[in-house]
Amino acid sequence: MEEVNKEKTSRTEAELMSICEALIFVSDEPVPPKVLGDVLGEPKQKIEKALDDLRLSYEARDGGLRLREIGGGWQIATRTELHEEVREFLKTRPSAKLSLASLETLAVIAYRQPVTVPEILEIRGVQSASSIKTLLDKRLIVSKGRKDTVGRPMMYGTSKDFLIQFGLKDLSELPSIEDFEDLIQ
């Protein structure tokens, strides 16, 4: 940390790219640019520029890895196209998917958050208690406090894990709910 401060102004763009790459590599979860900036004592713009260039260099190389923004941070991950070989090697299978009921509940929570159980019921037309439990267990949703209304019901919203598991940079990356309207006939 001491030498970090000493070198504060002397890092070149290329050095910064290397350091960011190394830090992202050793982290087991997406690294927010702010964390990189704080650790390295570099201004936000410099970090963001370095990350962007780093991403472009990954793309240009066209290798087995890609650098991407997900869940509010940066992450090095394998390319989607290589999933079969990676799975074969890791001997893993795609994990169990959510049921339709849970997915629907998750969609309502994602688009209407913070949302209460009665509000979910209104849209889905069905009790969603078991779905909500599943989503909580899977840490896809978190409680967002209580609503200041009769009965003070618990409000729910999506978690960082939700962004990561659904490959989203942030919530604004979700397509607008009104876009789905055109599809209905």
Partner 1 sequence: MPQTVPNIFMDVDSEQLVFDFENVQPHIERESRDQIKLTLGEFAGPLDLLLYLIRQEKANIFDIPIAKITDEYLRYIRLLKSMDITLATDFLVMAATLIEIKSKMLLPRDPVFEGDEEAEDPRQELVDQLLEHEKFKRASEMLYERSTIEQATFSRGLIESDDNNLEINATVFDILKAFQQIMERRKEEIQMEIAREEMSLAEMLKNIRSRIFTSGKITLLEIFEELKTKNEFVLAFIAVLEIVRTESVRVIQEQVFGEITLTRT
Residues found near partner 1 in the complex (CB under 8 A): 25-26, 28, 75-81, 83, 86, 90, 94-104, 106-108, 110-111, 123-127, 129-131, 134, 164-168, 175, 177-178, 180-181, 183-185
Closest CA to 28 of 138, 164, 169, 141: 164
Nearer to partner 1, 60 or 90 (CB): 90
Q: What is the largest CA-CA distance in the chain?
A: 64
Least distance (Å) from partner 1 to the CB of residue 86?
A: 5
Nearer to partner 1, 2 or 182 (CB): 182
Closest CA to 68 of 175, 167, 173, 171: 167
* Cα–Cα distance for residue pair 116/119, rounded to 1 Å: 5
Least distance (Å) from partner 1 to the CB of residue 116?
A: 16
Least distance (Å) from partner 1 to the CB of residue 170?
A: 14
* Cα–Cα distance for residue pair 16/50, rounded to 1 Å: 6
Least distance (Å) from partner 1 to the CB of residue 151?
A: 18
- What end-to-end distance do the CA atoms of the chain give, in Å? 60
